A and B are shown apart, each in its own frame.
Chain A
């Protein structure tokens, strides 16, 4: 029971956050055009409706109340439109309310208690409504009237029969037969709980001819009161062969599509959420708009439900941990496959059929691996779209006119990476908004830039990496200013005049650096860029900053596409096998004894392409016994990571291979293995383990030894 509640909550959170994101996007769009289209209003209405319904079901009172209020609000807006004077207020109110809802959902996610009192918010909505009504007082007086007339008109349009307030039209499955008897049975079972019901056609029991009428027009049941209707809904839902039913009295009826009987495990939640809709419906006073020129208020909610249906069927949400274990198993299969096919037992045998099937197996495992990988890939658009909102909010608060341009939002990266890059991107965008974009538009115009500033968010693939850049055309960074500030904060590590421009910009990412004089709501606490750098490095990425004073600046993240599989170069040192990520390797070459340059501390160096690079002997650092201690016997690998560039001396190269990265066991964390150059391990084709070297920390470990 607990378990099913848990997964219900999961689904609820997943859906709600999805809907709220959708809402945000919608609002931003609408704000840009300063106009809500019919569709948008209906869509907001539908989103709020769904949130209200599912929140009510999960018994989250505050969420339900807020959603209900907004739903009411948009209902009125849809019917009467909105005066231009209130548009801006409405947008603010809506953004505030989505924030409100998001906060609440987040609380749920963190297992915190929800707000119990949402009066502040509901009052705000009421005030807004009053303000609106103040202007359209005459309209509001009549708002009720058409509501009462509506059902009659609607009912009259379809049939002259029952016109009670709660009339349900029931449509049976196509070709299920005996519709009249089915109707009769349904009426029978409903009459057990509700005393006073009418139905049409009323001679279903005796007149088989009504069959065709029901098939064509549906079967109508009218209830005296809302309570009766509510009681009947579960019965109607439970009855067999019912395709859909809708409440006619409200012209804006909500179709309830009953899923075919053997519902999948996850389905009930969705179904209930939908079923919730008609129950709630009568509470809202809704007016039909047959005479209004607005074309399609009625189909909107239907579209919502129906439009979602195919999407629900072709998309499923899966727990990430399941994908992780899938990835693990696929990795295993790939390894085991090569263990089987290259088994030493087979050496020297002539096995035509075996080789043929082995080749087939190889092809299939490759395919399996590709698919497993692709499942984990998600587009970065979700993260990017969120920035729209930040740019808008900060733009308003700081009074800066900024346009956000998004390029390449379809770029796909590993799910874990998408989850991690959200915060860093947000930091960078905030930095750009707060620090980089000129406060005074005149400053921009004087430099020949357009009045509206631009922040460009780009994502693109380059082989095994994805590059994300946040570019602005603001005032750029002043190296002298940075230098001055860095000196004040005492974070310089070498004489001032030895810093290159690149290094000065990199100071921005040092802990405790912030050029903004004052701490603002958005930034200036000096924890920005170093956190960004740390987060990006955590997923194996690199951050770089480039900037030109007066023209703008650009923060670039270079991130590997996936953490699970890397292209590696297998190298041998003594009996040990290590893997170095290909991305870290610049070159590999052999040198003669004469080329080695010795320094005063027994260190060795080599000249390469005009630069001098230290040589790190892996066998010495890791105390591995090997015969190849002479520099001419082994091979040098020129490795580079971040700002470190040096040569590793190893016995030999074994070849390039894609490897599945596995973390080093938790037990070993206490020995600080991560800081001694080991990033993880991987299982080789023969079942042995190869350690994956972290070029960056290996160098640091080396320094500490010498």
Chain B
């Protein structure tokens, strides 16, 4: 996936060449958006390995409640984080819409449990603005206003390195 993206970038004439903007999250234009507790989030599609629905999660003892447990994804053990609980929102029953986005950031894999997947969007990085500084947003590193909704960009690196 990341390869395909890289190629795409290489083939396109790249107007955005400001050096300070060479963070992957921002150069790449494909974003996967999802919702959790009514909020819209986006994350860089190049991190996404796959999206899975229904999977039996093995509970882990003695970890924070937002770590739902681990799953076996074709032999790979992947931790699952419920983004609702991570945001201190109330837990809800899983519906048929809820699914797990499996991401891989620099070799660290994790699954994000979300309410529903919305779309894959092409977003120009220039339209993404930084989140307000004093607004405590550990997980978000950008905000964009789209016709449908305001989408917050998830900081994947921070998300997995925590």
Which of A's residues lie within 8 Å of B, judged by CB? Answer: 328-329, 331-332, 335, 576, 621-624, 662-668, 670-671, 673, 676, 678, 681, 683, 687-691, 701
| A-B complex: 5 closest residue pairs judged by Cβ atoms | A622-B61, A689-B58, A676-B62, A332-B75, A667-B79
The 20 sampled A-B contact pairs (Cβ below 8 Å) are A331-B75, A332-B74, A332-B75, A621-B61, A622-B62, A623-B61, A624-B61, A664-B77, A665-B79, A665-B109, A670-B162, A671-B63, A673-B63, A676-B61, A676-B62, A678-B61, A681-B77, A687-B56, A689-B70, A689-B72
Known: A667-B110, A689-B77. 8 other contacts (CB 8 A): A329-B75, A335-B75, A665-B77, A665-B79, A671-B67, A676-B61, A689-B70, A701-B62
Q: Would A678 and B162 count as touching, CB distance under 8 A?
A: no
Residues A576 and B59 in contact in the complex (CB < 8 Å), given A667-B110, A668-B67? yes
Contact with A along B131-156 (1 / 0, CB 8 A): 00000000000000000000000000
B108 contacts partner chain A, Cβ-Cβ < 8 Å: yes
Query: Complex formed: what's the CA distance from A681 to B162 in Å?
Result: 21
Q: Would A671 and B108 count as touching, CB distance under 8 A?
A: no
Q: Separation in Å of the B131 CB from the closest CB of chain A?
A: 23
Q: Separation in Å of the A141 CB from the closest CB of chain B?
A: 67
Q: Would A665 and B72 count as touching, CB distance under 8 A?
A: no
Residue of B58, B61, B108 with most chain A CB atoms under a 10 A cut-off: B61
Residue of A whose beta carbon sits closest to that of B105: A667
B123 contacts partner chain A, Cβ-Cβ < 8 Å: no
B85 contacts partner chain A, Cβ-Cβ < 8 Å: no
Q: Would A678 and B160 count as touching, CB distance under 8 A?
A: no
Q: Separation in Å of the A344 CB from the closest CB of chain B?
A: 14
Contact with A along B85-115 (1 / 0, CB 8 A): 0000000000000000000000111100000
B6 contacts partner chain A, Cβ-Cβ < 8 Å: no
Report chain A residues within 8 Å CB of B61: 621-624, 676, 678
B27 contacts partner chain A, Cβ-Cβ < 8 Å: no
Query: Complex formed: what's the CA distance from A274 to B107 in Å?
Result: 41
Q: Would A673 and B62 count as touching, CB distance under 8 A?
A: yes
Residue of B whose beta carbon sits closest to that of A331: B75
Report chain A residues within 8 Å CB of B62: 622, 671, 673, 676, 701
Residue of A331, A664, A665, A671 with most chain B CB atoms under a 10 A cut-off: A665
Report chain A residues within 8 Å CB of B72: 683, 687-689
Report chain B residues within 8 Å CB of A663: 77
Residue of A whose beta carbon sits closest to that of B107: A666
Query: Complex formed: what's the CA distance from A663 to B67 in Å?
Result: 17
Query: Complex formed: what's the CA distance from A683 to B60 in Å?
Result: 14
Q: Separation in Å of the A193 CB from the closest CB of chain B?
A: 45
Residue of A whose beta carbon sits closest to that of B78: A665
Residues A662 and B58 in contact in the complex (CB < 8 Å), given A667-B108, A670-B162, A671-B67? no
Contact with A along B48-68 (1 / 0, CB 8 A): 000000001011111110010
Q: Would B58 and A688 count as touching, CB distance under 8 A?
A: yes
Report chain A residues within 8 Å CB of B162: 670
Report chain B residues within 8 Å CB of A328: 75
Q: Would A673 and B78 count as touching, CB distance under 8 A?
A: no
A668 CB contact (under 8 Å) in B74, B79, B107 = B79
Interface residue tally for chain B (C-beta within 8 Å): 23
Residues A666 and B108 in contact in the complex (CB < 8 Å), given A688-B56, A689-B70? yes
B120 contacts partner chain A, Cβ-Cβ < 8 Å: no
Residue of B56, B59, B107, B109 with most chain A CB atoms under a 10 A cut-off: B59
Residue of A whose beta carbon sits closest to that of B56: A688
Query: Complex formed: what's the CA distance from A460 to B55 in Å?
Result: 45
Q: Would B60 and A678 count as touching, CB distance under 8 A?
A: yes
Query: Complex formed: what's the CA distance from A670 to B61 in Å?
Result: 14
B71 contacts partner chain A, Cβ-Cβ < 8 Å: yes
Residue of A664, A673, A689 with most chain B CB atoms under a 10 A cut-off: A689
Q: Would A667 and B109 count as touching, CB distance under 8 A?
A: yes
B70 CB contact (under 8 Å) in A622, A665, A666 = A665
Q: Separation in Å of the B8 CB from the closest CB of chain A?
A: 25
Residue of B whose beta carbon sits closest to that of A683: B72
Q: Separation in Å of the A668 CB from the closest CB of chain B?
A: 5
Q: Separation in Å of the A622 CB from the closest CB of chain B?
A: 3
Report chain B residues within 8 Å CB of A335: 75
Residues A683 and B75 in contact in the complex (CB < 8 Å), given A665-B70, A668-B63, A671-B67? yes
Q: Would B77 and A662 count as touching, CB distance under 8 A?
A: yes
Query: Complex formed: what's the CA distance from A676 to B64 in Å?
Result: 13
Residue of A whose beta carbon sits closest to that of B159: A667
Query: Complex formed: what's the CA distance from A335 to B75 in Å?
Result: 9
Query: Complex formed: what's the CA distance from A111 to B125 in Å?
Result: 39
Query: Complex formed: what's the CA distance from A287 to B158 in Å?
Result: 70
Report chain A residues within 8 Å CB of B63: 668, 671, 673
Q: Separation in Å of the A251 CB from the closest CB of chain B?
A: 58
Report chain B residues within 8 Å CB of A676: 61-62
Q: Would A671 and B58 count as touching, CB distance under 8 A?
A: no
Q: Separation in Å of the A564 CB from the closest CB of chain B?
A: 13
Query: Complex formed: what's the CA distance from A665 to B67 in Å?
Result: 12
Contact with A along B20-58 (1 / 0, CB 8 A): 000000000000000000000000000000000000101
Residue of A whose beta carbon sits closest to that of B110: A667
Q: Separation in Å of the A13 CB from the closest CB of chain B?
A: 25
Residue of B whose beta carbon sits closest to that of A670: B162
Query: Complex formed: what's the CA distance from A701 to B109 in Å?
Result: 27
Q: Would A681 and B70 count as touching, CB distance under 8 A?
A: yes
Q: Separation in Å of the A662 CB from the closest CB of chain B?
A: 5
Report chain B residues within 8 Å CB of A681: 58, 70, 77
Q: Would A689 and B67 count as touching, CB distance under 8 A?
A: no
Report chain A residues within 8 Å CB of B56: 687-688
Q: Separation in Å of the B4 CB from the closest CB of chain A?
A: 22
Residue of B62, B63, B71, B107 with most chain A CB atoms under a 10 A cut-off: B62
Residue of B whose beta carbon sits closest to that of A619: B61
Residue of B whose beta carbon sits closest to that of A666: B108
Residue of A335, A621, A688 with most chain B CB atoms under a 10 A cut-off: A688
Residue of A whose beta carbon sits closest to that of B71: A689
Q: Separation in Å of the B29 CB from the closest CB of chain A?
A: 27
Residue of B63, B64, B77, B110 with most chain A CB atoms under a 10 A cut-off: B77
A673 CB contact (under 8 Å) in B59, B60, B107, B160 = B60
Query: Complex formed: what's the CA distance from A335 to B77 in Å?
Result: 14
Q: Would A691 and B60 count as touching, CB distance under 8 A?
A: yes
Report chain A residues within 8 Å CB of B70: 664-665, 668, 681, 689
Q: Separation in Å of the A183 CB from the closest CB of chain B?
A: 53
Query: Complex formed: what's the CA distance from A678 to B77 in Å?
Result: 14
Report chain A residues within 8 Å CB of B78: 665
Q: Separation in Å of the A704 CB from the closest CB of chain B?
A: 10
Q: Would A671 and B110 count as touching, CB distance under 8 A?
A: no
Report chain B residues within 8 Å CB of A670: 162
Residue of B whose beta carbon sits closest to that of A686: B56
Query: Complex formed: what's the CA distance from A671 to B56 in Å?
Result: 22
Query: Complex formed: what's the CA distance from A151 to B128 in Å?
Result: 81
Residue of A whose beta carbon sits closest to that of B75: A332
Residue of B67, B70, B74, B160 with most chain A CB atoms under a 10 A cut-off: B70
Query: Complex formed: what's the CA distance from A664 to B79 in Å?
Result: 9
Query: Complex formed: what's the CA distance from A416 to B64 in Å?
Result: 33
Residue of B whose beta carbon sits closest to that of A335: B75
Residue of A whose beta carbon sits closest to that of B108: A666
Report chain A residues within 8 Å CB of B64: 671
Residue of B whose beta carbon sits closest to that of A576: B59
Query: Complex formed: what's the CA distance from A681 to B69 in Å?
Result: 12
Report chain B residues within 8 Å CB of A673: 60, 62-63
Residues A665 and B59 in contact in the complex (CB < 8 Å), given A671-B64, A683-B75? no
Residue of B whose beta carbon sits closest to that of A573: B61
Q: Would B58 and A576 count as touching, CB distance under 8 A?
A: yes
Report chain B residues within 8 Å CB of A662: 77
Query: Complex formed: what's the CA distance from A668 to B107 in Å?
Result: 14
Q: Separation in Å of the A676 CB from the closest CB of chain B?
A: 4
